[in-house]
């Protein structure tokens, strides 16, 4: 068998057999545009690197599925174990549980109306919920069917959610979680999301250290007198902080980054990765040319790209550093030259395929129902992975 045949290539992707759909093994030229594609070798490399980094730091990696939302990405991110993941919606939790994943943490504060679905999940797999409010603890205790495994969310400075580790009430909540017959304290969960606002790699590393120290210190205090609580897991994570972690993470047992599997131009600007680590593209075709306005029209609008990253031209056009996306409408985008010089319109006839290196891969993923996975040649479609949708 030829090593370059699509079937032999698919066989090389361990754990992914049988997921190719009817769209597999075509060329990228056959794809309807706009669409979303991923470069398999980069996705694999990003996955393996983060697994190795967690191991070196003595941590369990609990990769976040929110960026890719695919079964196949989950298999790669867990090194094939399909165990120990983080999700951002109950729909994702159900999607992964259906595919046989285990030890799933739903990392958004849960409220009472979501408990019946969460209870169903907990019957099928090891499933953890997160809370940061006494009313949520009360709701868990009143939902009597179940002993819940619960992470207490901690605010390490991001300011989105989580309890204040300096507040005495946060200790009382941890104690309540540990001692209620309806709940058990799985551990602490924090997200150093303020690393996204850092101006450089040094600032990211400072935040990584703060993130780690805030939660490790809180865990140590909970384990000490007078609380004497079991705190099995101490989890930190954001892609910037996990891509540039401190040399050690004392007191931390888990990390849960998500974006790293794809990365994007925002992460590159934060120093989390280099351009060659960006694994996904939005594919588009030229559908109009307006020399008087020095503009090309493409069939990628904000429906395919999202409007995030407008100040950064929504990302970069692979292989054409002289081009930039200047505007996105609903189903069309406008491209011009970066420096205002006249485009050579002969180089971009109608139908020309272009590829956007995305500004924020989480946002681009949300716009699509599937991602086409390309081989090393960046042309052969090996597989098409469905993306989990909804809530």
Asked if 168 touches a second copy (CB under 8 A), the answer is: no
| 66 makes contact with a second copy (CB under 8 A) | yes
Choice from 351, 376, 377, 379 touching a second copy (CB under 8 A): 351
Q: How near is the Cβ of 287 to a second copy at its closest, in Å?
A: 5
Distance of closest approach, residue 228 Cβ to a second copy, in angstroms: 27
Q: Give exposure, 52-65, as e/b (b: 16+ Cβ within 10 Å).
A: ebbeebebbbbbbb
Is residue 52 part of the contact set for a second copy (CB under 8 A)? no
Q: Does 305 bind a second copy (CB under 8 A)?
A: no
State yes or no: cis peptide before 34, omega within 30 of 0. Answer: yes
Tell the residue number behind the tokens 């590829």, with chain if given: 355
Q: Closer CB to a second copy, residue 38 or residue 79?
A: 38
User: Residues 267-286 vs a second copy: string with x where CB under 8 A?
Assistant: ------------------xx
Candidates 9-17, 175-183, 245-253, 348-356; binding stretch for a second copy (CB under 8 A): 348-356
- Site size for a second copy, by CB under 8 A? 60
- Interaction of residue 22 with a second copy, rule CB under 8 A: no
The one segment of 13-21, 39-47, 77-85, 113-121 that binds a second copy by CB under 8 A: 113-121
Q: Which of 334, 374, 381, 382 binds a second copy (CB under 8 A)?
A: 334
Rounded alpha-carbon distances, angstroms, from residue 328 to 153, 286, 359, 361: 37, 14, 14, 17
Residue 42: cis peptide before it, omega within 30 degrees of 0: no
Extract the tokens encoding 331: 């189903």
| Closer by beta carbon to a second copy, 160 or else 223 | 160
The residue written with tokens 């200047």 in the block is 326
For the chain, where are the alpha helices, taking DSSP H only? Answer: 6-12, 40-56, 71-77, 90-98, 115-124, 134-142, 168-179, 201-223, 239-243, 265-269, 302-305, 361-366
Let me know: does 336 contact 324? Beta carbons within 8 Å. Answer: yes
365 phi-psi bin (left φ>0, alpha ψ -120 to 50, beta other): alpha
Residue 205 sits in the site that holds a second copy (CB under 8 A): no
Query: Least distance to a second copy from the beta carbon of 382, Å?
Result: 21
- The CA distance from 359 to 17, in Å, is 31
From candidates 161, 211, 277, 357, binder to a second copy by CB under 8 A: 161
CB of 170 to a second copy, least distance (A): 12
Out of 49, 83, 133, 175, the residue judged to bind a second copy by CB under 8 A: 133
Could you give the angle at which helices 115-124 and 90-98 cross, rounded to 10 degrees? 20
* Residue 181 lies near a second copy (rule: CB under 8 A): no
* Residue 7 token pair: 């079937």
Which residues contribute to the site for a second copy (CB under 8 A)?
A: 32-35, 66, 88-90, 108-114, 117, 132-133, 135-136, 139, 159-161, 164, 193, 285-290, 292-293, 295, 297, 299, 302-304, 306-308, 327, 329-332, 334, 349-351, 362-363, 366-367, 369, 389-391
């Amino acid at each position: 068998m030829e090593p370059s045949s699509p079937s032999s290539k698919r066989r090389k992707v361990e754990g992914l057999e049988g997921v190719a759909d009817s769209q597999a093994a075509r060329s990228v030229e056959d794809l309807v545009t706009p669409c979303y594609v991923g470069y398999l070798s980069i996705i694999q490399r990003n996955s393996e690197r983060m697994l190795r980094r967690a191991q070196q730091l003595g941590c369990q990696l609990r990769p976040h599925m929110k960026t890719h939302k695919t079964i196949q990405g989950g298999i790669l991110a867990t090194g094939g174990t399909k165990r120990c993941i983080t999700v951002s919606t109950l729909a994702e939790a159900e999607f992964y549980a259906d595919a046989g994943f285990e030890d799933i943490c739903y990392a958004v504060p849960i409220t009472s109306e979501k408990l019946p679905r969460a209870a169903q999940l907990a019957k099928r797999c090891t499933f953890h919920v997160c809370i940061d409010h006494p009313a949520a603890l009360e709701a868990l205790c009143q939902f009597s069917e179940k002993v819940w495994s619960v992470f207490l969310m901690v605010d390490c400075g991001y300011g989105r959610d989580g309890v204040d580790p300096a507040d005495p009430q946060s200790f009382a909540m941890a104690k309540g979680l540990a001692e209620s017959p309806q709940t058990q304290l799985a551990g602490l969960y924090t997200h150093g999301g303020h690393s996204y606002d850092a101006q450089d790699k040094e600032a990211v590393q400072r935040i990584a250290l703060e993130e780690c120290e805030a939660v490790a210190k809180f865990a140590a205090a909970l384990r000490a007198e007078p609380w004497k609580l079991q705190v099995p897991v101490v989890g930190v994570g954001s892609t910037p902080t996990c891509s540039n972690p401190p040399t050690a993470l004392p007191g931390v047992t888990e990390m849960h980054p998500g974006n790293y599997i794809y990365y994007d131009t925002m992460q590159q600007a934060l120093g989390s990765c280099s351009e060659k680590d960006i694994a996904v593209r939005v594919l588009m075709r030229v559908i109009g040319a307006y020399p008087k306005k020095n503009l090309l029209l493409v069939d990628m609008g904000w429906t395919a790209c999202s409007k995030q990253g407008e100040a950064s031209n929504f990302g970069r056009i692979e292989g054409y550093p002289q081009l930039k996306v200047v505007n996105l409408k609903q189903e069309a985008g406008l491209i011009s030259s970066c420096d205002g010089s006249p485009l050579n319109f002969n180089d971009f006839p109608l139908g020309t395929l272009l590829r956007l290196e995305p500004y924020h891969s989480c946002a681009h993923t949300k716009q699509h129902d599937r991602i086409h996975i390309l081989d090393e040649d960046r042309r052969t479609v090996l597989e098409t992975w469905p993306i989990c949708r909804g809530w």
